[in-house]
Structure 1
Amino acid sequence: MKLNLLKKIVLAFLMLVSTSSLFAHALWIETNATGTKGKVQEVSVYFGEFSDNDITKSDKWFSDLKDFTLILVSPSKKETKLTSKALENKYQAFFKPDEDGVYTIVMHHKVKDVYGTMVLDYNSSATVVVGNKTLGNYATANNNIIGVFSENADLAKKNVKINVFALYEGVSAKEQKVKVIAPNGWEKELWTNDKGEISFTPIWSGNYMIEFAYTEKASGEHNGKKYDEIWKMATYLIAVK
């Protein structure tokens, strides 16, 4: 009897450790913030721990994470599903812009397996400016339930303030915690204002990761397993010159 109880405790602990380690990881999109009409644009999707520069090889992605969807939203709101292929440490896709304006790339995946009693829901987006920003430069071009957006990611420069918006269910995510991770792994947690906005001034050049996570208290069944929480993560990468 005591042995069975011990086994249950150990199993619960291992599950907790496993789920916690997944929380430290994220899916994110990398692509150039600007593009050229008629020229092929590369899009990369990574999984790992950004702050530690720890990239998980594509054949080691857990559960069915590789089955993420990748949607391209054109400045005129046309949606196209992108096909990606696995490389050694990422998934790669391409598109060729044929309009001027801002293209939004949207990634989403709800993991098949329930971890502990939690569903994991990964989201990411990226924006690409082609020609000008007359069309498509708005946060809700990303229709994921959770998202992050910056109007001027293409102009990000060292020592110049950057404004970032967090959204949940299509509206501003007010008074929510958003994490900024610098290229050297330095992290800062900020709280959004009543407009769902944070701002920070980068002091180093390189890639900055913006992460917004929210845990929804909800119960039900997912692929035949019960859950009582849904953990949702959104990422958005900003390349600072």
Structure 2
Amino acid sequence: MKSNTFKKLSFAVLTLLFSASSFAHALWIETKATGTKGKPQAIDIYFGEFSEKDIEKTAKWFSDINHFSLILITPSKKEIKLTATALENKYQAFFTPDEDGVYTVAMHHTVKDVYGTMKLDYNSSATVTVANDLKGNEASINPNIISLFSKEVKTAKKDTKIMINTLYEGKIAKQQKMKVIAPNGWEKELWSSENGEISFTPIWSGNYMVEFAYTEKTAGEHNGKKYDEVWKMATYLITVK
């Protein structure tokens, strides 16, 4: 009897650990910070653990995460829906810039299945600058409910401070916890200021991931299943030269 009880407890603990690990997965966009008029720009969407370089194969993505919406907002604020194609370990979409300025790519998806007691809401964004024109380089252009933004993403350099704006429901997200993940997996937690800003100085070159997760203590029902809270996450990739 004791042996069976121990086995059941062990299985429950392992299940909890596995669930926590899976839940930590992020959905993010990778693209070059600069683009060229008339030349196709690739937009890649990944799901996994950025810090561990653990990328999930698209065939194993949780629930209906692959049904995300992907919107392009042009410098003149025109919205264009992008269609992504499944590859082995990512989804990929393209757009061809036809004007100078800053293009915003916004990804959003509310997951169909409730995870434990949580409804999951994924958000990610990226900006592409064409011809050094800063038209459209505004945080408010991103339509996602939770987002991150940096005017310096195009010129991000090692040993130079990078400022990041955080938004929630269109307003500054002050005194909220963020996470910055370096190319080698090193992580640092930061709290946004009264102005909804965080900053960090990269000491390595490569891709940095900024994450902003917020849990809303709201109960309800989603696709026939009850939930006790809504977990919302924004990701933002910065390439440091």
- For normalisation by structure 1, the TM-score amounts to 0.94
1:63 aligns with 63
Which residue identity is paired with 2:126?
A
Which residue identity is paired with 1:188?
K
Which residue identity is paired with 1:228?
D
8 Å CA contact 1:69, 1:107 repeated in 2 = yes
Quickly say closer, same or farther: Cα 1:167–1:222, change in 2 above 3 A: same
2:107 aligns with 107
Which residue identity is paired with 1:94?
F
Instruction: Tell me if 1:212 matches 2:182.
Output: no
Larger deviation, residues 30-39 vs 11-20: 11-20
Per-residue CA deviation, residues 30-70 of structure 1 (Å, 9 max, x unaligned), is: 00000011111000000010000111111110110110110
State the secondary structure of the residue aligned to 2:217: strand
Quickly say closer, same or farther: Cα 1:83–1:184, change in 2 above 3 A: same
How far did 1:13 drift?
5.2
Quickly say closer, same or farther: Cα 1:49–1:183, change in 2 above 3 A: same
1:117 aligns with 117
Per-residue CA deviation, residues 200-219 of structure 1 (Å, 9 max, x unaligned), is: 00000000000000000101
How far did 1:14 drift?
6.2
- Which runs of 4 or more aligned residues in structure 1 lie more than 4 Å from their structure 2 counterparts after TM superposition? 5-15
How far did 1:8 drift?
9.7
Quickly say closer, same or farther: Cα 1:173–1:30, change in 2 above 3 A: same
Which residue identity is paired with 1:224?
G
Per-residue CA deviation, residues 58-116 of structure 1 (Å, 9 max, x unaligned), is: 11101101101100000111111101001111000000011111000000111110011
Give percent identity, aligned residues only: 70
1:134 aligns with 134
Quickly say closer, same or farther: Cα 1:219–1:12, change in 2 above 3 A: farther
Pairing of 1:76-225 with structure 2 (within 5 A): 76-225=76-225
Quickly say closer, same or farther: Cα 1:9–1:115, change in 2 above 3 A: farther
CA distance in 1, matches of 2:137, 2:52: 31
Per-residue CA deviation, residues 2-30 of structure 1 (Å, 9 max, x unaligned), is: xxx99997887566434412332100000
CA distance in 2, matches of 1:127, 1:161: 19
Runs of at least 5 residues in structure 1 that lack an aligned partner in the other structure: none
How far did 1:133 drift?
3.5
Alignment size in residue pairs: 238
CA distance in 2, matches of 1:11, 1:98: 56
Per-residue CA deviation, residues 173-230 of structure 1 (Å, 9 max, x unaligned), is: 0000110000000000000001110110000000000000000010110000001100
State the secondary structure of the residue aligned to 1:179: strand
- For normalisation by structure 2, the TM-score amounts to 0.94
Quickly say closer, same or farther: Cα 1:68–1:120, change in 2 above 3 A: same
CA distance in 1, matches of 2:67, 2:187: 29
CA distance in 2, matches of 1:10, 1:65: 30
CA RMSD of aligned residues (A): 1.9
